Structure 1
Amino acid sequence: MTNLKKIKNPLLYAGLGMALLSQAAYAQKSSSIADQLQLTWQVKDGQNIRKNPVSTIILKNTGKSAIQLNDWSLWFNFIRSIDPDKVDNRFAIDHRNGDLFQVSFKKNNFLLNAQDTIHIDFTTTGLVNYTDGPIGLYIKNSKTGLSTDIRNYTAVKTAPQSEAEKNNYWSYKYDLNQLTKGVEAQRIIPLPSHININDNTKFNVATGTKIFVASEFSSEGNFLTDFLNKYTGIKLSPSSAKEDGIVIVKANDLKPESYRLNIDAKGIHIEASDKAGAFYAIQSLKSLINHQQWIKTTKSIALPHASIEDSPRYGYRGFMLDAARNFHSKAEVLRILDLMAAYKLNKFHFHFIDDEGWRLEIPSLPELTAVGANRTANFEDGKGIQPAYGSGATAKAHQFYTVADYIEILQYAQARHIDVIPEVETPGHARAAIKAMRARYAHYTKAGDKQKAEEFLLDDADDKSVYNSAQNWNDNVMNPALPSTYHFLSKVVDEIKAIHEKAGVPLKMIDLGGDETPSGVWEKSPKILAFMKENNISNVLDVWPLYIAKINQLVQSKDLTMSGWEEMGMRNKGKGMEVNAELGKSGIHLNVWNNLPGQGQEDLAYRLANAGYKVVYTSAANNYLDMSWDRDFADPGHSWVGTVNLNRTYSFSPENFFINLRKDDTGKDLVKEAYTNKEQLTAEGKKNLLGIKGALWAEKVSTDQRLEEMIFPRLIAIADRAWAQEQAWEKGNAYDEATYRKSYTAFIKKLGEDELKKLDIINGGYTYRLPKLGIKKEGNQLYINTDYPGFKVYYTENGSTPTLKSKEVNGTIPFQVGKKYLFKVFDAKGRSGDVIAY
């Protein structure tokens, strides 16, 4: 819903407000119809879910009166394709745009009687898990054009599977979860460069312990003081002299972000050359303190004597959050920033603009949020954009960040030594902006002001090009031939830069996207044809590198660095995208994601870095956190990359990607071409590899709970790989799996037995992903383990749901044929995972 107080010309959007009010009024009248409908989606029995299965939507009328369905249609978002020719002839299922589908009831006098059901069967492309199912369902009346959300809807989380398939899966999980015996947990996450611990001698921190902090590190000292007070109850005593206790001072011989941390009989001594280094030393100290000491009744904390000298492997240690596809509040962003800081991540790539939403207030262009952040079933009127990724029929309020919100985020991040890098998608993924500027055009055209109408226009109305984007849009690409496109980008960049200045956090880098511009775009645009003639271009494919060069010059003219996705450093000469060496020294920073095993681009990050581009390795195969953890139908997430579990995330070797690249995510051997005869990093290319980043795309992430489940604990593994120095198993040409397993075991023990327990405490607790089970039957015994240790498993033998009062798994379980074993994982707070049947 639009915040009219933020709009300079509120009369412009009075119609939008009235439309929303009218819809709300109608919804009250028609909600009884929606309330009568109970909808369920499931995969039909006997289907192979990987090979174009048949699924069904079941409509049940739970009311006492019949519903006449001919005046209604059912709408939903669906991320897969539907074959319109394989639908029951009583219905039609039409793809409208993006992920939006419409079900029409074709039969005359289509009555759904009280307590009756109807099944709508349809064939889809392969499914991986229940989050592939329809979401955001609503009904719409064809006569009035108004709509109501369906509230009673369930996507069944199980799929057809034989007992043998289930048991093989749980056995596979058990083997995957096995850790190396005799390996102790690492003491700090992320792993320091050099660390020596002596557990035989301790220093006690207690209320009254003195703390001296050099003046330049006062804010960092406050973080430590506040932490101890809030989470342990210990109150330190400030001191003006360096004495026994805690001392935080400057040392000029250390690199940026580096620190020394020593604990001995005299106390805790921290040295750093800059604020970030002092801050990271404090995060290491927090990690060293066991979660059992994070209780307010602690009288003192006994810390082992230690000597730590630490520097980050990479200067860029990042996380990208997509808040465009599904919006996440300012409060949730701040929660994410807190944990990024705790694990020494220092770059927050803020993706708040895409096809499905514009989420940042731009004061001089209020249409961007009035239209672009307003997803509604009434999108045909041009005052909003269509529902996407489960948003439903009714526009939600405050689905964007105000200037004040963004300033608070910037300042909060800066205090935690995190740089915010905003992303404005261009030229593709720009549908929300295009529709908003088209609405602006319509308004000023009606007012007779042609100059204002065309000032920020982003599309050519006469463009007859036919294309289909990766997310199935046919109208989501800006037109590079329009001067107004560059005027728009200049205006938006200027306003974002001004917000940063107002926050006291100067903008240094802005990301302009550049990814997934589909084939076929611009081919039949009169404006593009004229543009090509003007620039002596004979092939429409050559518009792309020219556009990238122009927007890079625009950004650099504002004393900023432009970053973008890998396509910015590539071009198509007629045989597919290849590295564009001509722009290699242009100063563009690239986020390189495409390294999918077996698909031919495994070495793309290295080829771009070797060509001179500054590269942030955003490995989709390891670090895309919206991917499903594994191939359990009940496990949420995408699957086009494959599955990305914690092991796969931790095993990422940024400078030697091929070292352990031998199998795909199902365990099958890859073809040798996936890891042989590939370009390696040159010495110069290695200098251009700035760091690594995790990314969370939000198509399937509509709640804060789901967001945290998908991010954590995998982001902690990314943080460890970004900070810790190159490990022994990463080096050379031969992969030493035994050495890797020891490293992974040490990490995962610290994670499960200590760090995740802290996530139960910080900020009231985070809903990180609970571990899932591995189950292996040997003889008449069941062996049980979990994705990571530190969690209790309870079970029953009679088919009842396990509770905290059920039997706890301790060692093996005797197996008896005929009994139904149900298992459930619980954390220390009583939160539980899915019920697992064996």
Structure 2
Amino acid sequence: MTNFKKIKKPLLYAGLGLALLSQEAYAQKSSAIADQLQLTWKVKDGQNIRKNPVSTLILKNKGKSAVQLNDWSLWFNFIRSIDPDKVDKRFAIDHRNGDLFQVSFKKNNFLLNAQDTVHIDFITTGLVNYTDGPIGLYLKNNKTGLATNISDYSAVKIAPQSEAEKTDYFAYKYDQNKLVEGAVAQHIIPLPSNISINNNEKFNLSTDTKLFVDHEFASEGGFLTDFLTSYSGVKLAASSSPQGGIEIVKANNLKPGSYHLTIGAKGIRIEASDKAGAFYAIQSLKSLVNHSQWNKATKSITLPYANIEDSPRYGYRGFMLDAARNFHSKAEVLRILDLMASYKLNKFHFHFIDDEGWRLEIPALPELTAIGANRSANFEDGKAIQSAYGSGSTAKPHQFYSVADYIEILKYAQARHIDVIPEVETPGHARAAIKAMRARFAHYSKLGDKQKAEEFLLDDAEDKSVYNSAQNWNDNVMNPALPSTYHFLSKVIDEIKAMHDQAGVPLTIIDLGGDETPSGVWEKSPKVLAFMKENNIANVLDVWPLYITKINTLVQEKGLTMSGWEEMGMRNKGKGMVVNADLGKSGIHLNVWNNLPGQGQEDLAYRLANAGYKVVYTSAANNYLDMSWDRDFADPGHSWVGTVNLNRTYSFSPENFFINLRKDDTGKDLRPEAYTNKEQLTAEGKKNLLGIKGALWAEKVSTDQRLEEMIFPRLIAIADRAWAPEQTWEKGNSFDEATYRKSYTSFIKKLGEDELRKLDRINGGYTYRLPKIGIKKEGSQLLINTDYPGFKVYYSDNGSTPTLKSKIVNGPIPFQTGKKYLFKVFDAKGRSGDVISY
């Protein structure tokens, strides 16, 4: 085990800290040109945003003196491609690597006079929303190399759109929202296995109520008393024996995670066989308490008589957070864990390592965070990695989890019955690690220590292979022929395992990524060619399954289970990736995401489970929470999966994916090949389906506010699908739309009218996504509704921005031609959505 207290970082990396401080000092002073420039990005008028539109960067000199642009270059991150041959000859736009672009000013004596503007037009691949635009803009002096962020920058959130197109969109939204009206709200989220409620009789929970907790469930009882103390005026009195009131007792006949909850004349009784079951019963009790009783003025909580017998549908109910592309603090991780626990999610897949950042301190390899957690405009010196996903010019301090941070997260999760599954990406998505170990190599090479220099090296300097990864990197894949690659992975796993041991939370499973290794890798590496000869491999494609076998053995020898993305269970025999049945019984767990409707892999999760792999169904088409909610240009998120709204998330049928697969995300009919003649889940395959998971990739998620907006409320729908028993509409070969609508409407009514109000209170409030507005004109009236109920819409008919003092929508609104109507959604705390004009 590593002794964390005795490890000290090499002096080289102390120097890096001084370099970063000097950069920050420069950035604080700022350059005069950065202060003078105002930048705006927009899509030019008359463009079809889906078909290679022309967009423009507008540079305005808002200062009092001219700016000599030739002295500078403009840098930004941009996830789309740019055609360099179709840029105004006064400029050059060059792709550097990843998502980083450089604009050079080519015109001789390029002066931008005071108050003048210049437009940089460029053609991109299709856009979906404003978050596709450039981010992280900074200027770099061509002579000094010093760089500074552009602070005055905005992306226009309104796309070129005709009034007819806008009207059609709002009418479409109204019709979709109308489908979820009616029905009675379900009583608890997630939906229990069996529940009966008697609203005619009530039990009053008050300060006079006694609480008895079996000693084995003492910590779970603490969560109940903490809840009541924090969110009500009820303080329970402890009892040494069960005598009515609240009883949390041990029962030996229930499955793990299961519970019985009864509420009657004598009070509340919770029975469970394990701590997790008792904990989940308390979460159900919290959900049963209406939000109106969640306040300090409440001295008595009224609960209906109830009888609940509940067990989870799946043992794996997860969420993956990407904290590598954009870092999110320990405090935010703890906030996310709290809500995961509230909705009975029990697996936290922690993705803190990727091309764009290494976010976990590894004491034995301090370079990983000294280099890999710092993104800077001055990356060429090897003391940082390049800017990515809006990080800007200057490295931010402490963009990683320390050993102490990680241990605190582990303990916090364990107390809430959540397992943390760390992910170490290999062989692809490894650029931050590769650059860090290359810096280590350079350092020890200068000292003449060849052994230390090469000890953890991850790339072959003589490798001339040409490739381009999914995120446009050409240098992000570890070399499987280097013994140092395996030594590196072994060391990192040992260090992570030591942190778990120190936390008292033993590591049992570790994720080693394995996704998106691009074609072309290793083909021109002398080390790999020698490796192939040594292992009697004739085709470079066969290096892949051998590598997966080797790292699986490495992990198993440490007493651990290896998980990874679906590619670990696949191989390429020359015609694309197919299921590798040879490793089906190897013990590898797979996160399977690829089921995109109409793309041919709709049944991949089933094929892998049927082949023997343990599968966690991480459906991109339903559960990728970084996706845009719908086709509104002002709605943030990715779009390569299509759109993923709450309805699409809730409609996921893990064991019968094709049941409601008939249309794509635009509403167009899919070809029957998308849902017919597909491999179904066998009885054996069903045993291998461990559960389901939601995922949030953070390329477009740089703030905690955006993170929570993207996750919630969709993650709550995932929690319901992971816990609740299989529904009637999921079964058979034909989809019962009416039964589904009743189920979904019941869920969404509980969510909008009750659960989201609780999110306003928990931990000071969460910035979940506010519902969007639908508008439909019928005759001389405007009809208004929202994505989900429970929120007020304010409006004006004189062009003024709606406030809490404006008129509230309480029914149809009289419409008069010539008037400008503006609408805005507000939540109970006064937080508001975008202004919608009609």
TM-score by structure 1 length? 0.99
Deviations 1:549-596 (A, max 9, x none): 000000000000000000000000000000000000000000000000
What is the RMSD of the two structures over their aligned residues, measured on CA atoms?
1.1
Deviations 1:196-253 (A, max 9, x none): 0000001100012100000000000010011011101100000001101000001111
Give the equivalent residue in structure 1 for 2:678.
Answer: 678
Between the aligned partners of 2:95 and 2:816, the Cα distance in structure 1 is 50
Between the aligned partners of 2:180 and 2:423, the Cα distance in structure 1 is 42
User: Aligned letter for 2:418?
Assistant: I
Q: After superposition, where does 1:371-386 map in structure 2 within 5 Å?
A: 371-386=371-386
Q: After superposition, where does 1:690-769 map in structure 2 within 5 Å?
A: 690-769=690-769
In the TM superposition, residue 182 of structure 1 has moved relative to its aligned partner by 4.4
SS of residue in 2 equivalent to 1:223: helix
Between the aligned partners of 1:486 and 1:79, the Cα distance in structure 2 is 32
Contact 1:256–1:276 under 8 Å retained in 2: yes
In the TM superposition, residue 394 of structure 1 has moved relative to its aligned partner by 0.4
Q: After superposition, where does 1:431-470 map in structure 2 within 5 Å?
A: 431-470=431-470
User: Aligned letter for 2:86?
Assistant: K
SS of residue in 2 equivalent to 1:48: coil
1:621 equivalent in alignment to 2:621? yes
1:123 equivalent in alignment to 2:123? yes
Contact 2:457–2:484 under 8 Å retained in 1: yes
Deviations 1:475-510 (A, max 9, x none): 000000000000000000000000000000000100
Deviations 1:415-451 (A, max 9, x none): 0000000000000000000000000000000000000
1:347 equivalent in alignment to 2:374? no
Contact 2:776–2:784 under 8 Å retained in 1: yes
In the TM superposition, residue 178 of structure 1 has moved relative to its aligned partner by 1.6
Contact 1:7–1:366 under 8 Å retained in 2: no
Between the aligned partners of 2:494 and 2:55, the Cα distance in structure 1 is 49
Deviations 1:246-304 (A, max 9, x none): 00001111000000000000000000000000000000000000000001011101110
Give the equivalent residue in structure 2 for 1:365.
Answer: 365
1:529 equivalent in alignment to 2:529? yes
In the TM superposition, residue 8 of structure 1 has moved relative to its aligned partner by 2.0
Give the equivalent residue in structure 2 for 1:158.
Answer: 158
In the TM superposition, residue 20 of structure 1 has moved relative to its aligned partner by 2.2
In the TM superposition, residue 7 of structure 1 has moved relative to its aligned partner by 7.2
User: Aligned letter for 1:676?
Assistant: T
Runs of 5+ consecutive residues of structure 1 not aligned to the other structure: none
Q: CA 1:482 to 1:812, structure 2 compared with 1: closer, same or farther past 3 Å?
A: same
In the TM superposition, residue 12 of structure 1 has moved relative to its aligned partner by 1.2
Give the equivalent residue in structure 1 for 2:799.
Answer: 799
User: Aligned letter for 1:747?
Assistant: F
Q: CA 1:182 to 1:16, structure 2 compared with 1: closer, same or farther past 3 Å?
A: closer
SS of residue in 2 equivalent to 1:658: helix
Give the equivalent residue in structure 2 for 1:175.
Answer: 175
Give the equivalent residue in structure 1 for 2:397.
Answer: 397
SS of residue in 1 equivalent to 2:700: coil
In the TM superposition, residue 781 of structure 1 has moved relative to its aligned partner by 1.4
In the TM superposition, residue 26 of structure 1 has moved relative to its aligned partner by 3.5
User: Aligned letter for 1:285?
Assistant: L
In the TM superposition, residue 183 of structure 1 has moved relative to its aligned partner by 1.2
SS of residue in 1 equivalent to 2:31: helix
Contact 1:210–1:246 under 8 Å retained in 2: yes
Give the equivalent residue in structure 2 for 1:84.
Answer: 84
SS of residue in 2 equivalent to 1:103: strand
Give the equivalent residue in structure 1 for 2:324.
Answer: 324
SS of residue in 1 equivalent to 2:647: helix
Which stretch of structure 1 is more off in the superposition, 57-66 or 716-725?
57-66
In the TM superposition, residue 112 of structure 1 has moved relative to its aligned partner by 1.0
Q: CA 1:33 to 1:678, structure 2 compared with 1: closer, same or farther past 3 Å?
A: same
Contact 2:82–2:123 under 8 Å retained in 1: yes
SS of residue in 2 equivalent to 1:85: helix
Q: CA 1:360 to 1:807, structure 2 compared with 1: closer, same or farther past 3 Å?
A: same
In the TM superposition, residue 829 of structure 1 has moved relative to its aligned partner by 0.5
Deviations 1:42-78 (A, max 9, x none): 0000000000000000011111111111110000000
SS of residue in 2 equivalent to 1:70: helix
Give the equivalent residue in structure 1 for 2:283.
Answer: 283
Between the aligned partners of 2:698 and 2:180, the Cα distance in structure 1 is 35
Give the 4+ runs in structure 1 shifted more than 3 A. 4-7, 24-30, 179-182
Give the equivalent residue in structure 2 for 1:634.
Answer: 634
Between the aligned partners of 2:291 and 2:817, the Cα distance in structure 1 is 41
User: Aligned letter for 1:620?
Assistant: A
Contact 2:616–2:692 under 8 Å retained in 1: yes
Give the equivalent residue in structure 2 for 1:43.
Answer: 43
Q: CA 1:303 to 1:157, structure 2 compared with 1: closer, same or farther past 3 Å?
A: same
1:223 equivalent in alignment to 2:223? yes
In the TM superposition, residue 778 of structure 1 has moved relative to its aligned partner by 1.4
Contact 2:618–2:693 under 8 Å retained in 1: yes
User: Aligned letter for 1:76?
Assistant: F
Between the aligned partners of 1:137 and 1:59, the Cα distance in structure 2 is 12
Which stretch of structure 1 is more off in the superposition, 794-803 or 442-451?
794-803
Which stretch of structure 1 is more off in the superposition, 232-241 or 14-23?
14-23
Between the aligned partners of 2:417 and 2:208, the Cα distance in structure 1 is 29
Give the equivalent residue in structure 1 for 2:62.
Answer: 62
1:497 equivalent in alignment to 2:497? yes
Runs of 5+ consecutive residues of structure 2 not aligned to the other structure: none
SS of residue in 2 equivalent to 1:766: coil
Between the aligned partners of 1:815 and 1:424, the Cα distance in structure 2 is 58
Contact 1:6–1:363 under 8 Å retained in 2: no
Between the aligned partners of 1:96 and 1:609, the Cα distance in structure 2 is 40
Between the aligned partners of 2:810 and 2:325, the Cα distance in structure 1 is 43
Between the aligned partners of 2:5 and 2:823, the Cα distance in structure 1 is 53
Contact 2:259–2:277 under 8 Å retained in 1: yes
In the TM superposition, residue 17 of structure 1 has moved relative to its aligned partner by 2.8
Contact 2:771–2:787 under 8 Å retained in 1: yes
Between the aligned partners of 2:739 and 2:420, the Cα distance in structure 1 is 36
Between the aligned partners of 1:598 and 1:180, the Cα distance in structure 2 is 27
1:294 equivalent in alignment to 2:303? no
SS of residue in 1 equivalent to 2:261: strand
TM-score by structure 2 length? 0.99
Q: CA 1:181 to 1:43, structure 2 compared with 1: closer, same or farther past 3 Å?
A: closer
Between the aligned partners of 2:405 and 2:822, the Cα distance in structure 1 is 46
Deviations 1:345-374 (A, max 9, x none): 000000000000000000000000000001
In the TM superposition, residue 32 of structure 1 has moved relative to its aligned partner by 2.3
Give the equivalent residue in structure 2 for 1:477.
Answer: 477
1:425 equivalent in alignment to 2:432? no
In the TM superposition, residue 22 of structure 1 has moved relative to its aligned partner by 3.4
User: Aligned letter for 1:306?
Assistant: A
Q: After superposition, where does 1:116-265 map in structure 2 within 5 Å?
A: 116-180=116-180, 182-265=182-265
Between the aligned partners of 1:22 and 1:287, the Cα distance in structure 2 is 51
Contact 2:50–2:128 under 8 Å retained in 1: yes
In the TM superposition, residue 21 of structure 1 has moved relative to its aligned partner by 3.4
In the TM superposition, residue 6 of structure 1 has moved relative to its aligned partner by 10
Contact 2:182–2:745 under 8 Å retained in 1: no
Give the equivalent residue in structure 2 for 1:110.
Answer: 110
Between the aligned partners of 1:10 and 1:108, the Cα distance in structure 2 is 47
Give the equivalent residue in structure 1 for 2:538.
Answer: 538
SS of residue in 2 equivalent to 1:349: strand
SS of residue in 2 equivalent to 1:119: strand
Contact 2:27–2:394 under 8 Å retained in 1: no
User: Aligned letter for 1:498?
Assistant: A
